[in-house]
Structure 1
Amino acid sequence: MLFAMQQNEGPLSRLRRDHERLVLDLLRKQGPMTRGELGGLCGLSRTTLYDIISALVASGAVVTSVPQSAHRGRGRPVERLTLNPQAGQAIGIDFARRAVHVAVVNVAHEIVGTASETHGSEMSEDKRVDVAQRLVGRLTGGALRLGALGAIGVGVVGPVGRPGEEAGLGHNGDTLAALVRERFEVPVLVDNNTRLAALAESTWGAATGEQDVLYLRLSHGVGGGLVVGGALHRGAEGLSGEFGHITVDPEGAPCGCGGTGCLETVASVGAVLGAYRAQGGRADDVPALIEAIASGDARASSVVSEAGARVGSVLAAVCNAIGPAVIVVGGELAALGRALTEPVERALSANILPVSRWRMSLRPAELGEAGAALGGIALVLHESPLLTHYPAESKPEEKA
């Protein structure tokens, strides 16, 4: 059990408890922060905040640390505050199409480890959960401590309307969620795995600390996610982030979604490799395409440049509508590097509102295949009940 408090029904006590909840909630969602950073987010007076922090540190709910780099500077090192790492661990599982990825993070936002295992497309849901359970056991040494968080975040392929159990996924995602809940005996929060990768990149990856992030994944499919005001945006029926199905060529190829000329038909792995082969090139995968570009093959560079231009135009339209501060690009095609991102940047700059050009930052994703599993953890940290054993449960009339 994490730290409990004495019950007191007075209004001042309830106000203090609300302040403590606010500080703990910010540390749970944002990770380590200085007192000044906390003050800027919570809106409490300096005196009140420092009093609350002192009490939380004294109780053991919050711990302080000084980053290694701070020891080398002059003056008094700036302490960072974080939830006590011993409070528990958070688990994220990504059930990708042909792989299972898991991640373990403690409540102080420190990544304990990640692991992955590929499998055939015919593997049953039950066996896939077996794989997840084995990988989690490997990372935790068989001593899983969910502790105060008491939930697992799960990423699945396809639309998910809302996070949580019995989410009505309409495919094998609901079975996977039920199996994970049964195996680990805790609630399960579920969301689309590409959206979860967006949340992870804004928590631990390329857009750490940013509140408004657009994530685009260029893989065998094209999709993405939006983090708006620090929270994952899902949209009606869980359809947010379907950037791959924005039309870029009304006369183009048919798309699996039923549309025509979608971005996915020109900027997915298969589409780009197909376009290169149609021009006489030979490449069976992205590494081979990278080699062709490096060798000076103009056909390969042209195909990638055209795909990048289409991507940049779509990103500009989305950015003009929602105004993110950062765009993160991931997926297998991101390995093409500047051959892809330069035409993306040119098209983005040409089509985005002039006032936004200098504010926009385009960055490569940093978390790789572990991104969605880490996003599942971020979902738990953002949306699970506040450290379930702290404060002690209030009486019904005291709950918000």
Structure 2
Amino acid sequence: MLSGMHPHDGPLTRLRRSHEQSVLELLRKYGPLSRAEMGTRSGLSRTTLYDIVAGLVTSGAVVVGTPYVEARKRGRPVEKLSLNPAAGEAVGIDFARRAVHVAAVNLAHEVVGSAGEGHAADLSWPERVDIAVRLLDSLTTGAPGPESGSDGSGRAQAVHLGALRAIGVGVVGPTTDPGSESAHAQGIDGLPDLLRKRFGVPVLLDNNTRLAALAEAVWGAAADSSDVLYLRLSHGVGGGLVVGGALHRGRHGLSGEFGHITVDPAGERCECGKTGCLETLASLDAVLRRYRAAGGGADSPAQFLDAATAADPPALEVLARVGSEVGGVLAAICHAVGPGVIVVGGELAQAGDALLEPVEQALRQHLMPLARHHVDVRRATLGEAGSALGGIALVLHETPLLTHYPQPVSEENA
């Protein structure tokens, strides 16, 4: 990767390359860092680190900037090191049940833009990929899509796909090896090849709820924690674990299926074949049925959330019961994995404190005393773009994106 920078290949050169790789890896994984933060994470001596950083800045691989602060403080502003934004961009695509969401981030961890579009549940994969391409085209031209991100000025930012290095893709359900029986049953066995042909870059595939967990740990509600438990309460119930800053998939990609933890053995039959799963109690459809059984008249999840916002007693009662059940499940998972932050996302999380307070109360009740004050419960912040952003985080964490970063300009060509 760095051979263009060093004409010799002796032991000292190889050691320097190793140090350079360490610095680039940290910036790729964590985004902008100060030299002090870099020193803590890298373990390099101050002299070695400053020498390595100086070389990478000269080469154009790393840039130095001063983050904007609203209140100017005394002293010199702390400089942050980041990967050169011009070194490339990563794209994330979320193929949800009834929508496609896309997002783009440069290698400095700056979100360039995002967009999304709904579709019929039975749409074919080639048609869904067409939607993704069209949404990315809208970011490329700077034209806003049905839901689009901007730079804060009201103008959509343009994605330069010529710099594209990889794509992270989220899909519904467990993800296994392409070509396996499970992948064929899900209809996703040909998706990676289809995307590679359209974009001409490597494709990383994972469960979209797990990717939302990773995104919340990198850019969202849990950006200050390296051990995160994420639970999504939507049309389905699922989750994800980030352990030590890395996404945990489990054997055969089956980690995070929290919706299929049994809550009521005598309960309703679940799509998975078992009975009384959390999904039969806390999915949007299940919550709506429970609300109607309690005397509520909502015909859609949106109407139920409106009722909860208006403090409708049956709606609050249902949310209290759901929150208690969710909190009990989360406590059991906490005892197994010990997260520092729990993030609750999905449409049902829009109910806010009416749901989260019962969740937290049940969590504290079921956790062993030693753990009760070491877990924070937070609401997800990234919304529908979360899984697409998680695809990007997957790319930034797991692929060598700096193969062709800008090389130093020689004196002959200056």
Judge same fold: TM > 0.5, yes or no: yes
Structure 1 residues 180 and 169, CA gap change in structure 2 (3 angstroms): same
State yes or no: 1:73 paired with 2:73.
Answer: yes
1:289-368 pair list within 5 angstroms: 289-368=304-383
CA shift for structure 1 position 9: 1.5
Counterparts of 1:17 and 1:123, CA distance in 2 = 48
- In structure 1, the partner of 2:23 is 23
State yes or no: 1:169 paired with 2:183.
Answer: yes
* DSSP 3-state at the match of 1:223: strand
Conserved in 1, the CA contact under 8 Å of 2:139 and 2:159?
no
- In structure 1, the partner of 2:111 is 111
What is the TM-score when the length of structure 2 is the normalising length? 0.90
Choose the corresponding residue for 2:203, options 184, 188, 196. 188
* DSSP 3-state at the match of 1:92: strand
- In structure 2, the partner of 1:398 is none
Deviations 1:9-48 (A, max 9, x none): 2100100000000000000011011111111111111111
Conserved in 2, the CA contact under 8 Å of 1:4 and 1:389?
no
Conserved in 2, the CA contact under 8 Å of 1:2 and 1:389?
no
Counterparts of 1:218 and 1:344, CA distance in 2 = 12
* DSSP 3-state at the match of 2:190: helix
Structure 1: state its 5+ residue gaps.
393-400
CA shift for structure 1 position 145: 3.5
Counterparts of 1:33 and 1:71, CA distance in 2 = 20
For residue 276 of structure 2, what is the amino acid of its counterpart? G
CA shift for structure 1 position 353: 2.0
- In structure 1, the partner of 2:86 is 86
- In structure 2, the partner of 1:240 is 255
- In structure 1, the partner of 2:169 is 154
1:21-60 pair list within 5 angstroms: 21-60=21-60
What is the TM-score when the length of structure 1 is the normalising length? 0.93
Counterparts of 2:273 and 2:5, CA distance in 1 = 57
Counterparts of 2:395 and 2:63, CA distance in 1 = 21
* DSSP 3-state at the match of 1:347: helix
For residue 323 of structure 2, what is the amino acid of its counterpart? G
Counterparts of 1:192 and 1:295, CA distance in 2 = 35
Conserved in 2, the CA contact under 8 Å of 1:212 and 1:228?
yes
Counterparts of 2:124 and 2:295, CA distance in 1 = 40
For residue 377 of structure 2, what is the amino acid of its counterpart? L
Paired positions, count: 389
Counterparts of 2:57 and 2:45, CA distance in 1 = 18
* DSSP 3-state at the match of 1:4: helix
Conserved in 2, the CA contact under 8 Å of 1:200 and 1:372?
yes
Structure 2: state its 5+ residue gaps.
142-157, 408-414
CA shift for structure 1 position 139: 0.7
Conserved in 2, the CA contact under 8 Å of 1:198 and 1:214?
yes
For residue 167 of structure 2, what is the amino acid of its counterpart? I
CA shift for structure 1 position 70: 7.3
C-alpha RMSD of matched pairs (Å): 2.0
* DSSP 3-state at the match of 2:52: helix
Identity %: 62
1:94-105 pair list within 5 angstroms: 94-105=94-105
Conserved in 2, the CA contact under 8 Å of 1:215 and 1:226?
yes
* DSSP 3-state at the match of 2:354: helix
For residue 195 of structure 2, what is the amino acid of its counterpart? V
Return 50-59 or 167-176, whichever deviates more.
167-176
